[in-house]
Every structure is written in C-alpha cells, then in structure tokens.
C-alpha cells in the first residue's frame, strides 16, 4: 500500500506547464497500444513509435490509444504535438500525485482519476494515476505502468458488442470510468468481507492479533477513502460538463457513475464506523475478560488469607496457648477452616462475584 501523502522538495515551485514527471520511475519503456474500431471493423495493435499513431488522427472510426509508462517525456511531448494536446494538459498527465479532476481544455477534455486494483501477486492494493484525454473520435489513456482493470472493456470491443462499437470515445471514456469505480466498490467489498468476518471473533475470542488486524483494515479503508472521496467531486463535475465532445445521450450513463461513486463513498464511511465500533467492542471485551480472570484469582487468594492467618496463630511459640493441648484441636482447626472457606464461597456466589 502506498503512502497516504507524498510530496518531494524538488517538486515544489515547478511551473504549472513544465513537463516534469512527479511520479516514481516504475518502468523505462513506454508502451503504446491502439484499438481502432467502428461498428464493422476493429484493429488492435501495439506500436513502437508515435509516428505510427498518426494515421489514427482524423479518421471516422473511434481510436483508443493506451499509453503505459510516463518516463519518456520526449515521446509524450511528440505525442502532444502530433495530437494537438496543450502543454498544461500534458503536465497534468505527468503529475501523478494530482487530485482527481476534470478539466475542459480548448483542445480536449482531461479526466484524471486514481485507478485501484488488487494485485494478486503482491497481495496488495495498487493505486495508479490514470489520465483520459478525450478528443473527437479519439481517446488517449495514460498510466504509469503496465497493468490495468480494462480487460472486460477490451473483451467487449473484441466481441463486437453492438453498444460499445457503435458509440464514440465519450462512451468509451464512460465505460473506463465505470469500470474504475466498479473496482472501488469491489475492493471495498473485499475489505468489508474481512471486516464483517471479525465480528464474531471479537465477541467470542478476542486476541492481540485482532487488534493488529483492525488496525491494518483501518489503514486500508483510509487509503481507499482518500482515493474514493475526491473522485466523487470529480464525477459530479464530469456529469455537469457541457461539451460538444460528449453526446447528449451519455448523460443517462453519467447518472450511473454518480450513483456508483456515491455507493462507494457510503460503503467506505459505513465500514469506517464499523471498524471504530469493533475497536470499542474489542477494548471492552478484552478488558472484561481480563477483569473476570483477575476477579477469580483475587477471590481465590482471599479465601486462603484467613486460613493462613489461623495457621499462623497456632504456629506461634507462646508458652500458654490452651487450644494447642486439647486432643482434637488440630481437627477442629481444620474443620473451622473448611467452614470459613465454604462460607466465603457461598457469600461470593450470593453476591454474584463468582
């Protein structure tokens, strides 16, 4: 899991349109992948140079160019020039620590959002900045490294699902955002499953491991929340865009995005509260269990205290202790001790202390 906030001293004071990559170098090579499609045909290919992409400008078909790796700023600059993306938008692409945002530039719409996915190899949640550049008949997506959550969309494109193949890049952008938000909900539900599984354990058999687990889940929920919460604002702004690049008919889908991100937010907040409650229950329960043990042990000791005292009294070496010389004194003492112990046990039971 990444750090909650990261800011490097050398990133401060850079001009807003400087082409300065603020992320961590995660890959050297930039991978360029193209899907060019319309209702009839689909071309899927990986290219090496930006120049190979030029033919996808100004076609009637919809082109989706997926760029993985942001370290080669020269290549990106060439891309920006060829596809007419202004430099401010390009510097937004490179600022991978940016808050989710939507901006309508003169030449394009830029959407920046955090893409979260569970990496099964690393066993952790990966957060990566994703930028969508929407132009006429063209969608460019930029991310830091290879690996994304878009395979279902690629499948739908390949399988010639009528809806997606006949629609433009605005629908594709919606579909990608939709899948990003669906993944938020999926990740939250994964954590939620672990959180709800804790419930019974915390009541029946609380241990220090539970404390550690609650704490870990809390950090993970906080991490999700930090990424999901500002996304809500972004989606709200997105649904209010009034641009020629977005078809009238899309707005009904945007409602869906809004509903889903609201659901994600509510679920994150709900689980945060559940975790707080669980910590309370853990604390109360651990304290109660220990208290029960201490109570038992204390009562156990208390019963022996007067008995040991009596034995002590008859262990004294006074010359004249009449009781010492009666025949059954010893047995009487043992009997009295038994009586005292029983009396105390009965008393404690009556008081419900045992």
Q: Which of 34, 79, 175, 228 binds a copy of itself (CB under 8 A)?
A: 175
Q: Classify the C-alpha dihedral 182-224-30-106 as positive or negative.
A: positive
Q: Is 6 in the site for a copy of itself (CB under 8 A)?
A: yes
Q: Is 23 in the site for a copy of itself (CB under 8 A)?
A: no
Residue of 24, 124, 146, 314 that binds a copy of itself (CB under 8 A): 314
Q: Do 294 and 218 form a contact (C-beta atoms < 8 A)?
A: no
Angle between helices 87-94 and 73-82 (to 10 degrees): 150
Residues counted in the chain: 354
- Residues 128-157, one symbol each (x = binds a copy of itself by CB under 8 A, - = not), give ---------------------xxxxx-xx-
Give 270's DSSP letter.
H
Q: List the one residue from 72, 77, 182, 201 that touches a copy of itself (CB under 8 A).
A: 182
Helix (H/G/I), strand (E/B), else coil: 161: coil
Binding mask 241-280 for a copy of itself (x = CB under 8 A): -----------xx-xx--xx-xx--xx--xx-xx--x-xx
Among 60, 163, 242, 244, binds a copy of itself (CB under 8 A): 163
Residue with Cβ nearer a copy of itself (24 or 196): 196
Footprint of a copy of itself on 192-221 (CB under 8 A): 192-193, 196, 199, 203, 208, 211-212, 215, 218-219
CB-wise, 119 or 155, nearer to a copy of itself?
A: 155
Kind and range of the H or E run holding 153: helix 151-158
Residue 120 is a binding residue for a copy of itself (CB under 8 A): no
246, 87, 269: which is closest to 177 by C-alpha?
Answer: 246
| Spatial separation of the C-alpha atoms in residues 216 and 195, rounded to whole Å | 11
**Residue pointed to by tokens 């929340």:** 225
74 binds a copy of itself (CB under 8 A): no
Q: Does 306 bind a copy of itself (CB under 8 A)?
A: yes
Return the H-helix or E-strand segment holding 328: none
């Amino acid at each position: 899991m990444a750090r909650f906030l990261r800011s490097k001293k050398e990133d401060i004071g850079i001009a807003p349109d400087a082409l300065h990559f603020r992320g961590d170098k995660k890959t050297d090579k930039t991978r360029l992948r193209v899907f060019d499609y319309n209702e009839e045909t689909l071309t899927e290919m990986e290219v090496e140079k930006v120049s190979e992409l030029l033919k996808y400008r100004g076609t009637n078909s919809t082109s989706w160019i997926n760029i993985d790796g942001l370290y080669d700023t020269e290549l990106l600059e060439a891309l920006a020039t060829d596809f007419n993306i202004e430099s401010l938008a390009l510097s937004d692409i490179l600022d991978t620590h940016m808050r989710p945002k939507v901006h309508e530039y003169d030449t394009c719409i830029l959407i920046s959002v955090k893409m979260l996915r569970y990496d099964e190899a690393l066993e952790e949640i990966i957060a990566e900045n994703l930028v969508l550049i929407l132009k006429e008949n063209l969608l460019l997506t930029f991310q830091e490294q290879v690996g994304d959550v878009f395979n279902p969309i690629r499948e739908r494109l390949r399988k010639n699902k009528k809806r997606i193949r006949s629609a433009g890049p605005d629908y594709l952008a919606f579909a990608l955002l939709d899948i990003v938000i669906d993944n938020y909900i999926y990740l939250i539900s994964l954590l939620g499953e672990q959180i709800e599984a804790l419930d019974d354990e915390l009541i029946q058999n609380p241990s220090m491991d539970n404390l550690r687990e609650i704490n870990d889940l809390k950090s993970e929920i906080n991490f999700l929340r930090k990424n999901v919460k500002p996304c809500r604002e972004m989606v709200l702004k997105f649904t209010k865009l009034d641009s020629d690049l977005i078809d009238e008919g899309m707005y009904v889908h945007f409602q869906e995005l809004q509903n889903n991100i609201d659901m994600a937010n509510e679920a994150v907040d709900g689980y945060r509260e559940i975790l707080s409650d669980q910590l309370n229950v853990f604390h109360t329960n651990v304290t109660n269990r220990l208290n029960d043990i201490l109570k038992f042990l204390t009562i156990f000791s208390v019963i022996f205290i007067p008995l040991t005292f009596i034995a002590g009294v008859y262990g004294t070496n006074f010359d004249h202790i009449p009781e010492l010389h009666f025949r059954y004194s010893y047995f009487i003492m043992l009997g009295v001790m038994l009586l005292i112990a029983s009396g105390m046990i009965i008393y404690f039971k009556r008081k419900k202390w045992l």
